[in-house]
Structure 1
Amino acid sequence: MVVNNQTRKPSPWQTDDPTWLDKLKGEQPRRRWQQRRTFILASLGVNAIVLLGVLDLGSHFDMRSRVDRPPSPTNQFLAGPSLYVVDGDTIHYNGERIRIANIDTPEITQAECDSELKRGLEAKAFLKELIDGRPLIINRGDPHTGRMTDQYGRTLALVSTGGRDVGTILIQRRHARPWTGRRMPWC
């Protein structure tokens, strides 16, 4: 490149040589890649250790032998962080969508009127208060039809806590009505 009758060396950005940065640093490309790989692996290791510390996963594993562990019912769990109340008759637990089989509650997302929305939100709040932090027993399957899932893929189940059926409690408190096999209007 000639500028004002002087010959100038082209800048590295103007060359077609992809290794210009390696030549400028006096390093080999392989060495730089090894440094990057070491840095990435070290970062991943540190992040994993921090994540395990934040989640405190070690305290959730029971290291006792099976003989020493107290027996627990297969369908029982404690309502906690893995439990989410969707609406008055649907909960999510560890990725499983569970529909309380014996009740119908007002809709929240597809409410047909303001009254239904208000009653649906009240039913959701009551259900959350009712099951939050309490041991639940989930008996999967609709007792009337024998079906295991509904048309939306949710598991049909009867849910009880403290020896009482959650659906019956919701009906008694007027947050739900007995399921008749189809949805009835709330407006």
Structure 2
Amino acid sequence: MPLFAAAALTACPAPAVHDGDTIRCGEERIRISDIDAPELPSSPKCAPDSYRRGWCDFALGRAARNALVAFLGRGPIVVRRIGVDRYGRTLALVSVNGVDAGEFLVQQHLARRWR
């Protein structure tokens, strides 16, 4: 495996889950790449005067967050960084025991593929 590829894979031993598609590994904010999960009630994207509307199904947003917490608790977490989004968050593929977190959430109907 080339050195640069190995450097892109890291563990996240104690993640903090923000919502169904965003976690923290220490100070690093990580946006799970290629999916969109529903917003939580605190999201500014769901404010009545927001210029950028989000997917504002709060019950489904809580279910997505809770499912991600449970999924990440199944084993060692591997983060494969692939870029940075416009908010400065790391874009990454996140997996546990070789299973992709984003794909898991999509299969559970708790997130949709990002278009």
Q: Could you state the TM-score of these two structures normalised by the residue count of structure 1? A: 0.49
Q: As a proportion of its length, which structure holds more helix?
A: 1
- Could you tell me whether the CA contact under 8 Å between 2:105 and 2:111 is conserved in 1? yes
Instruction: List alignment gaps of at least 5 residues for structure 1.
Output: 1-72, 142-147, 181-187
Which letter does structure 1 place at the counterpart of 2:36?
A: D
| Number of corresponding residues | 99
User: 4+ residue stretches of structure 1 with deviation over 2 A?
Assistant: 73-80, 109-113
Question: What is the rounded CA distance, in whole Å, between the counterparts of 2:89 and 2:30 in structure 1?
Answer: 5
Question: What secondary structure sits across from 1:98 in the alignment?
Answer: strand
The question of 1:93 aligning with 2:25 is answered yes
Query: Closer, same or farther in 2 for the Cα pair 1:123/1:91, shift >3 Å?
Result: same
Question: What is the rounded CA distance, in whole Å, between the counterparts of 1:78 and 1:140 in structure 2?
Answer: 12
Instruction: List alignment gaps of at least 5 residues for structure 2.
Output: 1-5, 48-55
Out of 55, 67, 70, the position equivalent to 1:129 is 70
Q: Which structure has more RCO (C-alpha within 8 Å, separation ≥ 6)?
A: 2
Counterpart for residue 177 of structure 1 = 112
**For each residue in 1:141-171, what CA deviation from the matched residue of structure 2 results, as whole angstroms up to 9, or x when unmatched?**
1xxxxxx111111000011111111100000
Query: 1:94: how far off?
Result: 1.1
- Could you tell me whether the CA contact under 8 Å between 2:38 and 2:111 is conserved in 1? yes
Question: What is the rounded CA distance, in whole Å, between the counterparts of 2:111 and 2:38 in structure 1?
Answer: 7
Counterpart for residue 61 of structure 2 = 120
The question of 1:102 aligning with 2:15 is answered no
Which letter does structure 1 place at the counterpart of 2:68?
A: L
Query: 1:102: how far off?
Result: 1.2
Out of 4, 7, 13, the position equivalent to 1:79 is 13
Counterpart for residue 164 of structure 1 = 99
Query: 1:78: how far off?
Result: 5.0
**For each residue in 1:11-37, what CA deviation from the matched residue of structure 2 results, as whole angstroms up to 9, or x when unmatched?**
xxxxxxxxxxxxxxxxxxxxxxxxxxx
**For each residue in 1:57-106, what CA deviation from the matched residue of structure 2 results, as whole angstroms up to 9, or x when unmatched?**
xxxxxxxxxxxxxxxx75342533xx100000000001000000110000
Q: As a proportion of its length, which structure holds more strand?
A: 2
Q: Could you state the TM-score of these two structures normalised by the residue count of structure 2? A: 0.77
Specify the structure having the higher radius of gyration (Cα).
1
